[in-house]
Chain A
Amino acid sequence: MRDLFWIFVSSMLVNNFTLVLFLGLCPFLGVSAKIATAVRMGMADIFVMVITSVTVSALNAWVLPHAPYLKIIAFIVVIASLVQIVEMVIRKVSPTLFRELGIYLPLITTNCAILGLALLQTSKGYGFTEGLVYAVGSGLGLTLALVLMASIRETVELSSVPSIARNMGLVLIIAGSLSLAFMGFAGLFSS
């Protein structure tokens, strides 16, 4: 139980996917202009991550021991097709949910955060339960980073910014400051 708690805290704060491990930067920079979109993107991320984690546990348990050289191909193909299937099911079962998350699902599939989760979960040797906790923690961490970034950008939008900083430069420097703040969580594990 204690281990699971630490996996959760570590994946959410100490090793935050976006700000410390640099995974999933495209949505972080692309979809972080408004808080509402950022929240939806984060929810969709958590959702896909949980599916991925379950899939990866299954692949690791039954398929990959027999064919380790297929790791990368198996992960990307299986995850992409599974997300596609889930998307179709959601569209049929709950149109409301589909409208909320739908357009983000295909975008997320080929996002490095998802494949990164699969690879890291494998290299850390997490089983089913640990993997699930890891996925939820990482997803929440991503959402946290997205929402923080979106809140700051909404404020920056209203202030006067020098013209050279109107491109991504300023956003990256803000991200750097956020990342600096998240480095403070590294001390959680020192004891």
Chain B
Amino acid sequence: MKETTAQEDLLRGIWRENPVLVQLLGLCPTLAVTGSVDNAVVMGIATFFVLLGSSVLVSTFKSIIPKEVRISAYILIIATFVTIADMVTHALVPDIWKALGPFVPLIVVNCIILGRQEAFASKNTVWRSTLDAVGMGSGFMVAMLIMGSVREIIGNGSWFGIPLFGGHYQPWIIMILPPGGFFTLGFVLLAMGWKKGREAEAVRPRRWPHGVTTEVGGPV
């Protein structure tokens, strides 16, 4: 693996290697619970907590855990933190817990978390793994916030439950229903593909029409 600095460990997960929007991991919760920003944020916090907790624990015990059973050990650690997250969510925000349904327990099988343990926490120091977990967790939160905001603003005309447009707005109900999740993420990915294409275009040297003798990149 390429050597990275501590700063890179922290920052790359937030946008450049965003676990959801770039690596396309953990899509189930991203699509399922982003019908409103409240749900999306609670889900983001719960996932952040589980990721941070398991990364710290896994990197602490990485020399004790035998290689053959490491995946099972990681899953046990993750499942323990998920149980805590499930109980805390149930106690603090019972309404949202009910709306999230099976998706809080399902953090166990979120590929972002197991992926980070296998790819990073099992090979790096506790401090670096903490930074990495904070970065990736924030990246997940950013994705949840983008998805939740788009879907709630268009689909319900509100943000965090605060009405935005007054009485005349006809909400697009479809955006908070299941198809809206697929459409929103689809269009976000299309937009990112378009942006990437534009950047690649800007880097490529311009080709001048036949007969024009200006040097490429030189003053016109």
Contacts and interface: CB of A to CB of B under 8 A. Distances in A.
A112 to B, nearest CB: 5
A165 B185 CA distance: 13
B183 to A, nearest CB: 4
A172 B111 CA distance: 19
A123 interface: yes
A131 to B, nearest CB: 15
Contacts of B82: 72
Nearest to A181: B179
| Contact size range, A | 35 or more
Interface in A115-173: 115-116, 119-120, 123, 163-173
Contacts of A72: 79, 82-83, 86, 105, 108
Contact of A110 (B31, B102, B114, B180): B114
Interface residues of B, number: 40
Contact of B187 (A116, A173, A180): A173
A19 B31 CA distance: 10
B193 A166 contact: yes
A114 B105 CA distance: 12
Contacts of B87: 69
**What secondary structure prevails in chain A residues at the interface with B?**
helix
A57 to B, nearest CB: 17
Interface in B44-101: 72, 75-76, 79-80, 82-83, 86-87, 101
Given A71-B105, A110-B114, A179-B179, A77 B28 contact: no
B41 interface: no
Contact of A119 (B79, B106, B183, B193): B106
A83 interface: no
A173 to B, nearest CB: 4
A112 B24 contact: no
7 contacts: A22-B27, A25-B31, A112-B110, A166-B193, A170-B190, A175-B182, A180-B174
Interface of B: 24, 27-29, 31-32, 72, 75-76, 79-80, 82-83, 86-87, 101-102, 105-106, 108-111, 114, 174, 177-183, 185-187, 189-190, 193-194, 197
